[in-house]
Amino acid sequence: MTLEMLKKDLLNLIGKTINIVEKRNTMPVLMNILLEADQGVLKIFATDLEVSLMDQAPCQVSRPGKVAVSAKSLFEIAKELAEEPIQLNRKENNWLEIRQGKYHSKIVGISAEEYPVFPTFSGTGFIRIPEEVLRDMIDKTLYSVSSDDTRYHLNGVFFEQLGNAGYTMVATDGHRLSLVQKDLDSSRIMNEGQGVIIPRKGLHEIRKLLDAVKGPFEIAVEGAQLILRNENTVLMVRLIEGKYPNYSQFIPQQLKKRIRINREAFLTSLKRVSLLANQKSKAITLTLSNGKMEIASNNPELGDAKEEIDTDYEGQDLKIGFNAKYIQDILTSINETEVDFEINDQLSPGILRPHNDGSYTCVVMPMRI
């Protein structure tokens, strides 16, 4: 394998793989990426057996071939080279020679045959999905994914298609739940009632790809894989096997009190007051009285803080405890100026939504105070 390509093209290719190749993988081979040069393109393959990426960029190939090398080493060398074409040459012992002007280096590679067999897909059943819709759905759910490895089926976002026009994403860690629904006029990629669970790492990689690559994306579900593609870039995510809980039973219905609050005022006040909350539980109390809400924290080791913000609350005084970080995550994911906060009493979960927008629902469990 001998080729020459532009530095920016090489960096762009390898840069997409850096987060996929594991830093501390039990299989050292997975710290490598597979390079394959042929017919005027360099193809790149990276996988950690859960998330896999294929991409390609134009180059001048004088000798076709393939080799697997350390993604980190090649990326760091290329990053420090000048803005001129870089030559790559596979030697007989699978070392990769890197040249530019008077610079010359060789990095240890391994035979392409030792690289894991890459997942394949048929290429049918894809539907187009606007990047801003997919990005918004991920941003509104990813923060609620459970990090408890014993509840493996909650370590991802549940993605389902309802009817022919609607998509739903749901995430919960048992303490909070976020659900977003989008109406998209598109064909079906899943059977009715057969949603899939996309793992956290896969969603992070999808999110990075949406920022790195512009243009329309296509999405498909094939067997145990979710596939996202944009022209030459293909990302394959192995789905989590298991049954997602019936999330609708966790969403309280007909809460008695609905309060309208300025999102920015609520968020900045929470950030200030929670600085003196218990660092582990992040517990704060919300005390509602006519036209006001007092946010307070109390930590014997640090001190206490409180702040009042205006609301349209009317009725009996009510005091309820929450994890401040959970509410901050929700408010950060909302773009609207005002939010609706629905509650019943100090023992029932609360619901936060953008004002007058039923497409995004966030449930948060109260804390004992």
User: pLDDT for 314-325, tens place per residue?
Assistant: 989 999 999 999
What is the three-class DSSP state of 73?
Answer: helix
pLDDT > 70? residue 344: yes
* Mean confidence (pLDDT) of the chain: 92
Going from the C-alpha of 342 to that of each of 86, 141, 166, 253, the distances in angstroms are 59, 19, 25, 10
Per-residue pLDDT, 72: 94
Higher pLDDT, 356 or 194: 356
**Reported pTM:** 0.91
pLDDT > 70? residue 302: yes
pLDDT > 80? residue 167: yes
Query: What's the rounded Cα separation, in Å, for the pair 366 and 151?
Result: 21
CB contact set of 322 (below 8 Å; sequence gap of 6+):
283, 284, 286, 350, 364, 366, 367
Burial grade of 352 (CB within 10 A; 0-12, 13-18, 19 or more): buried
In this predicted model, what pLDDT tens digit does every residue of 132-162 receive, in sequence order?
999 999 999 999 999 888 888 899 999 998 7
Mean of pLDDT values over 167-181 = 95
What is the three-class DSSP state of 325?
Answer: helix
pLDDT > 80? residue 164: no
CB contact set of 317 (below 8 Å; sequence gap of 6+):
287, 288, 289
Measured from the Cβ of residue 329, the count of other Cβ atoms closer than 10 Å reads 17
In this predicted model, what pLDDT tens digit does every residue of 51-91 receive, in sequence order?
999 999 999 999 999 999 999 999 999 999 999 999 999 99
Per-residue pLDDT, 129: 86
**Domains located in the chain, CATH noted:** 2-114 (3.10.150.10), 127-247 (3.10.150.10), 251-364 (3.10.150.10)
Q: What are phi and psi of 299, to 5 degrees?
A: -140, 110
Highest mean predicted confidence (pLDDT) among 91-105, 121-135, 156-170: 91-105
* CA nearest neighbour of 94 among 10, 49, 35: 35
HSE-up of 42 (CA within 13 Å, CB side)? 30
pLDDT > 70? residue 220: yes
Per-residue pLDDT, 59: 97
Is the torsion defined by CA of 95, 100, 104, 107 positive or negative? negative
pLDDT > 90? residue 34: yes
Going from the C-alpha of 97 to that of each of 7, 44, 52, 344, the distances in angstroms are 15, 17, 26, 67
Per-residue pLDDT, 127: 85
Per-residue pLDDT, 119: 86
* CA nearest neighbour of 119 among 270, 43, 195, 226: 226
pLDDT > 70? residue 165: no
Query: What's the rounded Cα separation, in Å, for the pair 28 and 237?
Result: 20
